[in-house]
Amino acid sequence: MQKFFLYNTLTRRVEEFKPLNPPKVKMYACGPTVYDYTHIGHIRTYISIDTLRRALEEFGFKPLHVMNITDVGHLTDDADEGEDKLEKGAKKRKKTVWETAKFFSDYFFYTIDQVNIKKPHIICRATDHIQQMIELIQKLEQKGYIYETDQAVYFSVKKFKEYGKLSKQALSEKKTAVREEVKTDPEKKHPADFALWFKKKGRFANHTMHWDSPWGQGFPGWHIECSAMSMKYLGETIDIHIGGEDHIPVHHENEIAQSEAATGKKFVRYWLHAAHLLVEGQKMSKSLGNFYTIDDIKKRGFQPVSLRLLFLNSHYRQQMNFTFKALESSEKAFKRLKEKIQELLFIIKYLENPNPQKKENKKAKEVFEKFRNHISNDLNLPKALSEFWTMVDMPIDPAKKLETIYKMDRILGLNLDKIKAVDLSDELKALLKKRKDYKKRKEFAKADALRKKLEEKGLKIKDTPQGQILIEK
């Protein structure tokens, strides 16, 4: 098995990836909070997660990919202040929280399907795992890591000596929220202490979603959800935890603290984080009018796969600036790629296949190995794509080229194997023969008229050394 390297946020260095029980890989990805539309910033993160899974599979690993759906407990401030995002989203749309969660969950899955993202093997909803969360909180209570106030049950970060090891922030740097609308619990002992369970009283007296617990009716805090669900499906120690970089200082720090405090074991061996997406140089927000969903992309005439190709051109750990000009370039690139695939398919299916050129095929093997090496080096997709385009343009045996392109695409996820050759009907065969005869007799005006006739049928003709090739216009 070829060595595979990943950047571990915990150690701040690129390390050889060695799962606990190879080739099996326990992989947990932070899923969406389903209170609003999935946007292109989310799409970039989930494409990074999808590419990681595809790469692991191609390198001989067998990942078990688990993803949560947060449908309760995520407040508008990550430090457990503000109001529940699901409740807020439901009020805004005048729907129930359950209707809101279902609608935006469905939209999330519709979105990832549009950009060829594989569904996780296990999808777990927070509201289906309340009992596991309660049991984990009880375990922390038995070990003396929690305290209770009139409003909530908190994890005491001072009792976990390694708190801050992921973000590299000292506890003294953690500050409580200062915005006027934020309501801080006066009984909270430290600004960084985080809620494991919110009680159905005070600001949450009318909270729609609530369950019985040893601490009274209420609902779980956001952070406890991921620990409880990952432990249920992947065990107490997992190989990879991946999500957005915005989760490093609070959410993932808290996951480590509560998980390791409860089990006494290392929670995650490799932490991976995808960088933010800017839009036209600014943070995405509805107030700025630069908040785009996959439907916004489609309404502007772009193929969703072109967005995927665009995001593959940047490294997952590097911040990326989205522009529609860049998306236009990606759309043109995918169109060229689609035409090239159709050319290869047409040659293989209908034209005389030239003899393989051993020298060039050897070069193709070298290009493919370079592609794999870039992928194995912390998913260096920009460099891998460079080798991919080299392969696309190499003058080698069409069948060998297509086979290699498909192998590369198993990681890139552009679904190139779904592209079909133009079906050469008897009518089209006759037109091509007639055009060939016209050109042979140098009757170019008549040959050009046939070309235009083919264009009216949505087809483009190309003259190549192998003969006339038809592709979709």
* Confidence at 205, pLDDT banded by 50, 70, 90: very high
Q: What mean pLDDT is predicted for residues 72-88?
A: 87
Instruction: Give percent of the chain with pLDDT exceeding 90.
Output: 86
Burial class (CB in 10 A: 0-12, 13-18, 19+), 177: middle
Q: What mean pLDDT is predicted for residues 420-442?
A: 93
> What would the pLDDT profile of 42-70 be if each residue is shown by its tens digit?
999 999 999 999 999 999 999 999 999 99
Instruction: Give percent of the chain with pLDDT exceeding 70.
Output: 96
- Structural domains of the chain sorted by starting position, each given as residue range(s) with its CATH number in brackets: 5-274 (3.40.50.620), 294-418 (1.10.730.10), 426-472 (no CATH)
Position 178 scores a pLDDT of 39
* Confidence at 466, pLDDT banded by 50, 70, 90: confident
Position 179 scores a pLDDT of 44
User: Which phi and psi angles does 76 have, rounded to 5°?
Assistant: -70, -15
> What would the pLDDT profile of 317-326 be if each residue is shown by its tens digit?
999 999 999 9
Task: Please state whether beta strands 122-125 and 81-84 pair in parallel, antiparallel, or not at all (unpaired).
Answer: unpaired
Position 287 scores a pLDDT of 74
Position 361 scores a pLDDT of 76
Contacts of 417 (CB under 8 A, 6+ apart): 406, 409
User: What pTM did the predictor assign?
Assistant: 0.94
How wide is the angle at C-alpha 192 spanned by C-alphas 191 and 197, nearest 5°?
A: 100
One-letter amino acid for residue 245 of the chain: E
Q: If you average pLDDT over every residue of the chain, what do you get?
A: 93
Return the higher-pLDDT residue of 13 and 289.
13
Lowest mean pLDDT, pick from 254-258, 383-387, 424-428: 424-428
Burial class (CB in 10 A: 0-12, 13-18, 19+), 175: exposed
**Is the confidence at residue 90, as pLDDT, over 90?**
yes
| Size of the chain, expressed as the number of residues it contains | 473
Neighbours of 93 (CB within 10 A): 14
* Confidence at 465, pLDDT banded by 50, 70, 90: confident
Q: What mean pLDDT is predicted for residues 228-257?
A: 97
Burial class (CB in 10 A: 0-12, 13-18, 19+), 102: middle
**Residue 252 contacts residue 165 (beta carbons within 8 Å):** no
Position 184 scores a pLDDT of 72
> What would the pLDDT profile of 285-313 be if each residue is shown by its tens digit?
777 888 999 999 999 999 999 999 999 99
> What would the pLDDT profile of 221-232 be if each residue is shown by its tens digit?
999 999 999 999
Supply 273's token pair. 């984080």
> What would the pLDDT profile of 125-161 be if each residue is shown by its tens digit?
999 999 999 999 999 999 999 999 999 999 999 999 9
Kindly give the interhelix angle for 358-376 and 381-393, rounded to the nearest 10 degrees: 170
